[in-house]
Amino acid sequence: MAAWIWYFGDLELYHSCRMHMRRAEYDYHFPPFWRLDDAHRNVVFRRECELAQAGAIRAYAHGQGMLEVDGKRYPFDGREIPLSAGRHVIEAKLMSGEVPLLFVDGAVESDESWDVTCYDGRWVKAGMNWYFRHPDKCPVEFPFAYAPLAPAAVEAVDGGVLYDFGRESFGVLTLGDTAEETLLRCGESRQEALSDEAIVQARIPAGGEARLTARAFRYVWVSRDVALTAESELLPLPRRGRFSCSDVRLNRIWEVAHHTFHLCAREVFLDGVKRDRWVWSGDAYQSYLINRYCFHDRETMRRTIIALRGRDPVPGHINTILDYSFYWIMSLEEYRLMIGDDGFIDRLWPLAVSLMDYCLARRDENGFAINEGNGWIFIDWAEMDKTYALCAEQMLLRRALEAMARLSALMGEDGAHYQQAADALAEKIDAFFWDEEKGAYIDSFASGKRNVTRHANIFALLFGYAGDKRERILHNVLLNDAVPAIRTPYFKFYELDALCQAGYQAEVLRRIGDYWGSMVDGGATSIWEEYSPDEPMDAQLGMYGDKFGKSLCHAWGASPIYLLGRWFLGVVPTSPGYATFDVRPEAAGLDWFEGSVPIGPWVGEVHIRVQGDTCTACATVEGGTLYWKGKAYRLEKKVAICVGDAQ
């Protein structure tokens, strides 16, 4: 079956560049502050084939150039090009100011078997996506779906008209005939839409109909009574993950988290739809995990991984952040576990090696990753001692090294040096950062402050590095209210993941209710970038010095989807691509719960229902094992089993 093809990575980088160009604040555009790689402008596609009988092909292209069949030239106009039986050499020479794309069907079809070069002396296999299987469906335009949005309320206010669309949305706004200049302001909150300090606003000159580029909004204020229409712009992803339970509030949290995540799943997994509308490696790593229990969407995950890494040579840490380079390497293992696509890892492996080489070249004499040059350390927004080497960074480096060692084996290479570096680093971490008196890992040793925050200790538990320190860390840090609480959904993700791993699911439910539940009770229709339950919601809208700078729709806030799927429905892959998977449901005090978890990128799911001591499970694919009340049960394909009191 034929599909559009491109130089591997080109289409993903092209759409990444277009997406990153769209962030606007007030009356100016806000480009990212790291190097963005783009598509090659001129390439050659090549295919050698042997035909058993005569046939014909048709060729289409995005760009300018020519098709050569055995040295004879043809235009890209869809005409039939005859091919005799026997051997042929087909080349397509293309140039485009956007991205060169090729579609060939007939006796020979365009797919990943074609070679392509960018005139650098190397031939690589072409990139493609089976979604683009028709010559009229050129992937240069991203395939969003559009649907009309109707306002839930309209009112006259401040001399204009305020439209309330009922919940956070992302889409295209169109103004009718603007007889005179019109001011339009979008707001994720009512306060923002009515303020002249709104982040997203447009001054539209007098003229005809005005169709604005897609943007985030719940509220839209227009300075004049002029016709306004809206349509959503979303990636058409089927709803695959599901969860419901006896706790009505928890059901609302799950639905709001799902809506948040769908809005942020676009060309790539975005951080948020108002600000920044960029792709960040730390945010994306969590999105991959949420995606596992929500859409199981392979293509957006692939596009995000490619867009983040770009091309060699390595210009600096990903997004200029030390920890974000480690997350990118870790994401390759997560991709393999979720998708089972070793070919994709193979294509990115040289980029993983060069990125890790870059990181290792910037360690100190103890083997610690330190901040150098124009990069910075994030980890989380917290009062953390980031003097010199930071413990949490070393935990991530160790994890990334271990991932490189395992992936080296997959690639047929010797990764012993990665494992040796990880083992040596483990000893140094304990020697420099473990505080026996505090029974916890400190942030940094260089300042002498011996400050303890939750972050490094969370990683120690989550990554299995705590050993016999596990119980002390749990009680001295994660279950200790004297240690400053995590304030962002970003790191609450890891904290609650670690607590579930330690068997504290009931405590995790309580914390989800206290944090996400409080946000939803306060009227949030999507999950915020950062939130403080002890402060009034309307006093928390600012960030980065902007009165309304906080993102009220942030993908990293959708972690309840992951937590409920991973630790309550209990579905987890135990081999790449869910060839085998475990189902370990945990009620943790819920009277009943049920849900579905997608298995595989296109088809397959496992459905679980728990009520009291009874569990029912059914998987549409082979390979699953249900664990309930200390016993294991094989899940046969499409055969429901019921175990417990009602069996």
Mean pLDDT of the region 315-329:
97
Does position 147 have pLDDT exceeding 60, yes or no? yes
Q: Which pLDDT value is given to residue 25?
A: 87
CATH of domain 145-234: 2.60.120.260
Fold of 242-408+415-567: Glycosyltransferase (1.50.10)
Q: 5-128 with 145-234: one CATH topology?
A: yes
**pLDDT computed for residue 646 by the predictor:** 55
Q: What is the pLDDT of residues 485-522, one digit of tens each?
A: 999 999 999 999 999 999 999 999 999 999 999 999 99
CA max distance for the chain: 82
Lowest mean pLDDT among 369-378, 463-472, 535-544, 623-632: 369-378
Residues 6+ apart with CB under 8 A from 192: 185, 186, 198, 199, 219, 541, 548
Phi, psi dihedrals of residue 420, rounded to the nearest 5°: -65, -40
As beta bridge partners, residue 407 has none
- What is the per-residue pLDDT across 184-243, written as a single tens digit (0 to 9) for each? 999 999 999 999 999 999 999 888 789 999 999 999 999 999 999 999 999 999 999 999
Which of the listed CATH numbers 3.90.1150.10, 2.60.120.260, 3.40.190.10, 1.10.10.60 matches domain 5-128?
2.60.120.260
Q: Where are the domains of the chain?
A: 5-128, 145-234, 242-408+415-567, 571-643
Task: Name the E strands within 52-114.
Answer: 55-62, 64-69, 72-74, 81-83, 86-95, 101-106
Q: Is there a contact between 95 and 74 (Cβ–Cβ < 8 Å)?
A: no
- The 3-state DSSP class for residue 25 equals strand
Q: Alpha-carbon distance 365 to 496, whole Å?
A: 34
- Exposure string (b/e) for 506-536, b if CB count within 10 Å is 16 or more? ebbbebbbebbbebbeeebbbbbbbbebeee
Instruction: Give pLDDT tens digits for 404-450.
Output: 999 999 999 999 999 999 999 999 999 999 999 999 999 999 999 99
DSSP annotation of 537: G
Q: Give the CATH architecture of domain 571-643.
A: Sandwich (2.60)
pLDDT at 555 over 60: yes
